Chains A and B, each alone.
Chain A
Amino acid sequence: MDNSTRDTELLVRYLDNELAAGEKSALEQRLEESAALREELESLRLAREAVRRFGLSRQVKTVHEQMKKELRPVRKMTRGRKFARYSLAVAASLLIVVIGVLGYNFYTLSPARVYASNFRSYELATMRDPGAPSTPIETAYRERDFQKLVRAGKDEKSLSPREQFLVAMAHTELKNYSAAIDEFKKLTARGGESGAAAVMPETEYYLALVYVRNKDYDLALELLHKIHDDPSHPYHARVSGKLIRQVKMLKWR
């Protein structure tokens, strides 16, 4: 055995941790002194690392071949599939948001809410003739003294259509919805009388709202449809499709 082979065996035994203490310290002494010996040790160490890596790779490869049969193939996502997936995700998200909003609105919808969001106090000035004297009922309405107005309405033997409308509005403001409905209906029955036509559009509108508040949805819808379908009706703009849908939803609940 030549010196080179003997050194290789010694270095391999050193790597394998098989040297006796004396042999080990002697070799370490020589390693300090010889760059060539250090280089050979490094090469053998790399060779050992290569064997370990090879063994591990081979074992993983063997399991890999077994697993290929077990695992389903991963489908590559094409650009079209990606686009379709993202579009579907966006559409689904929007649908969830829409359903959520509709659900929330449906859940929180109430006759009081629909009424409150559509009711605005009637402006008396719009029906007064310039220069005409104010009646006690008109004065009470302008002063928003609705109790006084209702009392005055009871005392008055014959109310003009305009005064009767104000009495109905006073009951509405006082939240006496049944009484308001009665007054509005009396006024509707006087449709042929002089002056009644002038207050009929507002009568229909406010009666419809009071019907909603009083949960008389069919009667409310009849009036609302009439106003909504007639573009020349003075209250046409106030009766939106949304309002009609809300009343229908209230009816379904």
Chain B
Amino acid sequence: MEAVKTFSDAELVANLRSGKRMDECIGAIYRDYFDSLSWYVMNNSGSRQDAEDLFQEVVVSFIDLVQKDKFRGDSSVKTFLFSLNRHGWLNELKRRGRALAREEKFEKGQERADPGAEAYITRREERNRLVELIGKLGETCKKILVWFYYEERSIADILKSLHYENEQVVRNKKSKCLKQLAVLINQNPALKQTLKNILNG
């Protein structure tokens, strides 16, 4: 049986910031925090599916904040994730018109781990819309953009995988794909605003 790796807060943040051992780190976050964060959602009018969706988004937001150097480490990773989870779920309840008076009261008395951090939590509809828009680009565009901008692979490396004539063709294709996505985002004001919030924090 493979040994399960655990990380200290400092190790976790350092790995996520550098993009190293990402799968191991995400797995460690799940093992350490999924049960307790899901428990909160499921015991405040949420379903198992709600808890899983929110947890995924909490992890995404946390990694994004770490990589943008916006996680200052003023609080522990645990406290920060709980804060993101709580705010994300309360916002979702409000959106559904089922805000719990007790929770709102509780909320007022709480000190936030990072004021405004909940702005990084995107709603399920917006996440689905983003997947849908990127899907519209076509498989090749999606691969080029994700490989270059997320996986940070070089153009030369991408050229080997896609068998284009030369690197310039790949560059032109990449620019075209990015422009196409920008147009699609401009046609979706809600998603555009969410991305602005994420980008500008």
Measured CB to CB, the residues of A under 8 A from B are 5, 8-9, 12-13, 40, 43-64, 66-68, 70-71, 73-74, 76-77
Shortest distance from the beta carbon of A67 to any chain B beta carbon, whole Å: 4
Q: Write the B45-85 contact mask toward A (1 if CB under 8 angstroms, else 0).
A: 00010011001110110011000000000000000000000
Known: A50-B134, A76-B43, A77-B43. A59 touches B51 (CB 8 A): no
Closest to A39 in B: B186
Q: Write the B135-146 contact mask toward A (1 if CB under 8 angstroms, else 0).
A: 000000000011
Q: Is B99 an interface residue (CB 8 A)?
A: no
Contact A74 B38 (CB under 8 A): yes
Contact B27 A67 (CB under 8 A): yes
Contact B195 A53 (CB under 8 A): yes
Contact partner, B26, options A52, A54, A59, A76, Cβ 8 Å? A59
Contact partner, A74, options B35, B60, B130, Cβ 8 Å? B35
B195 partner residues in chain A, CB cutoff 8 A = 46, 49-50, 53
| A183 to B108 Cα, complex, angstroms | 77
Contact A64 B52 (CB under 8 A): yes
Stretch at the interface among B86-94, B157-165, B172-180: B172-180
Closest to A67 in B: B30
A70 partner residues in chain B, CB cutoff 8 A = 30-31
A77 partner residues in chain B, CB cutoff 8 A = 39, 42-43
Contact B198 A49 (CB under 8 A): yes
A47 partner residues in chain B, CB cutoff 8 A = 178-179, 181-182, 185
Contact B31 A12 (CB under 8 A): no
Q: List 26 contacting pairs A-B, 8 Å CB cutoff, sorted by A.
A: A12-B174, A12-B179, A43-B182, A43-B186, A46-B196, A46-B199, A47-B178, A47-B179, A47-B181, A48-B178, A50-B134, A50-B191, A54-B134, A56-B60, A57-B56, A57-B130, A62-B23, A64-B30, A67-B34, A70-B30, A71-B30, A71-B31, A71-B35, A74-B35, A76-B42, A76-B43
Contact A59 B22 (CB under 8 A): yes
Measured CB to CB, the residues of B under 8 A from A are 22-23, 26-27, 30-31, 34-35, 38-39, 42-43, 48, 51-52, 55-57, 59-60, 63-64, 122, 127, 130-131, 133-134, 145-146, 149-151, 171-172, 174-176, 178-179, 181-183, 185-186, 191-192, 195-196, 198-199
Residue in B55, B60, B63, B172 whose Cβ sees the most chain A Cβ within 10 Å: B60
Residue in B51, B55, B175, B186 whose Cβ sees the most chain A Cβ within 10 Å: B175
A59 partner residues in chain B, CB cutoff 8 A = 22-23, 26
Shortest distance from the beta carbon of B107 to any chain A beta carbon, whole Å: 21
A60 partner residues in chain B, CB cutoff 8 A = 26, 56, 59-60, 63
19 additional contacts (CB under 8 A) given A8-B175, A46-B195, A77-B43: A12-B175, A13-B171, A46-B185, A50-B181, A52-B150, A53-B130, A55-B146, A55-B150, A55-B151, A56-B63, A57-B56, A60-B63, A63-B30, A64-B52, A68-B52, A70-B31, A71-B34, A74-B48, A74-B51
A53 partner residues in chain B, CB cutoff 8 A = 60, 64, 122, 130, 195, 198
Closest to A10 in B: B175
Shortest distance from the beta carbon of B135 to any chain A beta carbon, whole Å: 10
B149 partner residues in chain A, CB cutoff 8 A = 48, 51-52, 55
Closest to B51 in A: A74
